[in-house]
A and B are shown apart, each in its own frame.
Chain A
Amino acid sequence: AQSVTQLGSHVSVSEGALVLLRCNYSSSVPPYLFWYVQYPNQGLQLLLKYTTGATLVKGINGFEAEFKKSETSFHLTKPSAHMSDAAEYFCAVSGLNTNAGKSTFGDGTTLTVKP
């Protein structure tokens, strides 16, 4: 069984400020973890993923996330927010032994960037 909890359904930051979006997961098997971004009326775009190896992963648009097994977390960060980062962000988990990558998603965090 897998689940994802995204703490904070809405996060607001000022342009240039640090972005921190929180994600905690549970998984009965070694997890694969993903962050996606969704702009209005569009599908999901992969930002980054953790499968194995290095626990700090870098993605597109300056985002990165760190897999912390002891904390069952995979928080998303970006040092300096840009107006174009305003969107909905989803954390997802799939497991090594689950059906070929079937993913379980969190409920999303809406990021607002203030000028």
Chain B
Amino acid sequence: GAGVSQSPRYKVAKRGQDVALRCDPISGHVSLFWYQQALGQGPEFLTYFQNEAQLDKSGLPSDRFFAERPEGSVSTLKIQRTQQEDSAVYLCASKDSPAYTQYFGPGTRLTVL
């Protein structure tokens, strides 16, 4: 079966541009997480959805970051007016409820010039 997919795999943006990163979770998975992984560090939590409801966005670093999951399946992470410090790998994970195991996608590597 298909795993979690993310697109694009690589994105280069000029500072100030807006970007949109897509996550396709495993079909039927209720929970969806976004993490940010800076170079040489572990993933850091950004936000969490249960179905279409965004239940936790405490990890979003600024109001330039916005995530949505309007139909409870595909999710989009949008970053407005990108800055160099936004350069990182953005990982998406999904899991079924009430399982403990998160399944990760391959990530999108964002480079802001």
A residues at B contact (CB < 8 Å): 4, 32, 36, 41-46, 49, 51, 90, 92, 94, 99-108
Asked whether, in the complex, the Cβ of A106 is within 8 Å of the Cβ of B91, the reply is no
Asked whether, in the complex, the Cβ of B101 is within 8 Å of the Cβ of A102, the reply is no
B residues at A contact (CB < 8 Å): 4, 31, 33, 35, 40-45, 48, 50, 55-56, 91, 93, 95, 97, 100-107, 109
Asked whether, in the complex, the Cβ of A104 is within 8 Å of the Cβ of B104, the reply is no
Asked whether, in the complex, the Cβ of B101 is within 8 Å of the Cβ of A49, the reply is yes
- Known contacts A90-B43, A108-B42: does B106 contact A99 (CB below 8 Å)? no
Q: How far is the CB of A60 from chain B (nearest CB, A)?
A: 12
Asked whether, in the complex, the Cβ of A45 is within 8 Å of the Cβ of B104, the reply is yes
A44 to B48 Cα, complex, angstroms? 17
Asked whether, in the complex, the Cβ of A101 is within 8 Å of the Cβ of B102, the reply is yes
A49 to B48 Cα, complex, angstroms? 21
Residues of A contacting B31 in the complex (Cβ-Cβ under 8 angstroms)? 100-101
Asked whether, in the complex, the Cβ of B95 is within 8 Å of the Cβ of A101, the reply is yes
Which chain A residue lies CB-closest to B95? A101
Residues of A contacting B97 in the complex (Cβ-Cβ under 8 angstroms)? 100
Asked whether, in the complex, the Cβ of A43 is within 8 Å of the Cβ of B104, the reply is yes
Asked whether, in the complex, the Cβ of A100 is within 8 Å of the Cβ of B55, the reply is yes
- Known contacts A44-B91, A46-B101, A100-B31: does B40 contact A107 (CB below 8 Å)? yes
A80 to B41 Cα, complex, angstroms? 27
Asked whether, in the complex, the Cβ of B45 is within 8 Å of the Cβ of A43, the reply is no
Residues of B contacting A32 in the complex (Cβ-Cβ under 8 angstroms)? 100
